[in-house]
């Protein structure tokens, strides 16, 4: 019995020390793994934040480039027919939009849907204005009609998409 007591006298404290060391080591390793994971997230955010902001910038630029006034200035050439200008405007909008398709992965689904609506509205406005003119009209008539219709419009999808993009940037990054 004395031998068993002597054995427990040395074994029990050793087991308590071992259990304590195991518990402390386990907690330390969990905290280190958590810190490593947090550092990886921060590093990823340092990389992705500029890319995401650049995506918003590119989409704002897209909206500005498909805005009728600027689009007409860049696209209209002297001597163009209404159908030539209409085709050139629509092609320019589609080209700008296709060039920025990949940006949708960086913005919300709602914002991307607004971008698509803005594109569709721009094409629709051009087509509607072109249909209102007789075939023998020249491109300056179409330019005038598009600009007049644009001034008369209360709220456009372009403006709505631009406001939403600005709002998302303010809420997500600043």
Q: pLDDT in tens for each of the 174 residues of the chain?
A: 788 788 888 888 888 999 999 999 999 999 999 999 999 988 887 888 889 999 999 999 999 999 888 899 899 888 888 999 999 999 999 999 999 999 999 999 999 999 999 999 999 999 999 999 987 888 889 999 998 888 877 778 899 999 999 999 999 887
**Looking at the domain assignment, is residue 12 inside a domain?**
no
**Looking at the domain assignment, is residue 109 inside a domain?**
yes
Q: Which helix (H) or strand (E) holds 165?
A: helix 157-173
Neighbouring CB atoms inside 10 A of 72's CB total: 21
Whether the full predicted model's pTM is greater than 0.85, yes or no, is: no
CA-nearest of 173, 120, 129 to 150 is: 129
For residue 110, the enclosing domain spans 49-173
**Looking at the domain assignment, is residue 19 inside a domain?**
no
- Pair 158, 118: CB distance under 8 Å: yes
Q: Which helix (H) or strand (E) holds 105?
A: none
**Looking at the domain assignment, is residue 144 inside a domain?**
yes
**Looking at the domain assignment, is residue 16 inside a domain?**
no
**Looking at the domain assignment, is residue 14 inside a domain?**
no
CA-nearest of 74, 111, 116 to 92 is: 74
> Rounded CA gap, 24 and 33, in Å?
14
**Looking at the domain assignment, is residue 31 inside a domain?**
no
Residue 8, pLDDT score: 80
**Looking at the domain assignment, is residue 23 inside a domain?**
no
Name the domain count of the chain: 1
Residue 161, pLDDT score: 93
138 secondary structure, DSSP code: B
Residue 112, pLDDT score: 96
């Amino acid at each position: 019995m004395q031998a068993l007591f002597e054995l427990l006298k040395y074994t029990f404290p050793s087991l308590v020390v071992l259990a304590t060391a195991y518990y402390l080591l386990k907690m330390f390793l969990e905290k280190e793994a958590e810190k490593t994971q947090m550092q990886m997230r921060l590093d990823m955010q340092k990389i992705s934040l500029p890319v995401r902001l650049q995506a918003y910038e590119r989409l704002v630029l897209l909206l500005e480039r498909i805005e009728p006034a600027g689009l007409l200035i860049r696209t209209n050439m002297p001597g163009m027919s209404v159908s030539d200008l209409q085709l050139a405007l629509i092609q320019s909008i589609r080209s700008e939009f296709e060039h920025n398709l990949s940006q949708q992965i960086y913005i919300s689904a709602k914002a991307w849907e607004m971008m698509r609506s803005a594109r569709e509205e721009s094409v629709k406005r051009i087509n509607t204005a072109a249909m209102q003119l007789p075939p023998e009209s020249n491109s300056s008539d179409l330019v005038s009609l598009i600009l007049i219709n644009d001034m008369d419009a209360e709220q456009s999808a372009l403006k709505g998409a631009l406001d939403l993009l600005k709002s998302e940037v303010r809420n997500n990054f600043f």
